[in-house]
């Protein structure tokens, strides 16, 4: 009889700990799926907008794709991926940007 009680107590403790954890995992997974769908919709919308830029579209798409892979970038990284020079030394040209 004592062995049966121990098994019952272990199952009770396990169920009370595991079920809320799994519920939490399920909720977070659903939220992550929804956010992923929203990001994908935004990406498609941005690509459609960029395609209206004409000659500039090719470089803009490169930048957008890099941003989706690495959302925090520096000007130098954008210059490297596009081959463009985006920043000019302010003392040499009295201007901060091209």
Tens digit of pLDDT for each residue in 10-59? Answer: 565 566 667 777 788 889 999 999 999 999 999 999 999 999 988 889 88
Q: Is 71 exposed, middle or buried (0-12, 13-18, 19+ CB in 10 A)?
A: exposed
- Compute how many other C-beta atoms are within 10 angstroms of the C-beta atom of residue 76: 10
Q: Residue 62 has which token pair? A: 């490169």
* pTM given for the model: 0.57
How many Å from the N-terminal Cα to the C-terminal Cα in the chain?
Answer: 83
Residue with tokens 């994908």: 40
* 95, pLDDT greater than 60: no
Residue 69's pLDDT is 85
- Taking a C-beta distance cutoff of 8 angstroms, is the pair 76, 66 a contact? no
User: What's the CA angle centered on 36, arms 45 and 38, to 5 degrees?
Assistant: 40
Bigger pLDDT: 61 vs 2? 61
């Amino acid at each position: 009889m004592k062995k049966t009680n121990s098994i019952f107590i272990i199952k009770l403790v396990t169920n009370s700990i595991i079920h809320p954890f799994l519920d939490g995992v399920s909720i977070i997974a659903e939220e992550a799926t929804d956010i992923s769908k929203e990001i994908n919709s935004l990406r498609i919308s941005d690509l459609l907008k960029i395609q209206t830029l004409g000659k500039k579209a090719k470089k803009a798409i490169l930048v957008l794709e890099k941003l989706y892979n690495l959302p925090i970038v520096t000007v130098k990284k954008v210059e490297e991926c596009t081959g463009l020079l985006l920043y000019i030394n302010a003392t040499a040209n009295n201007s901060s940007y091209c």
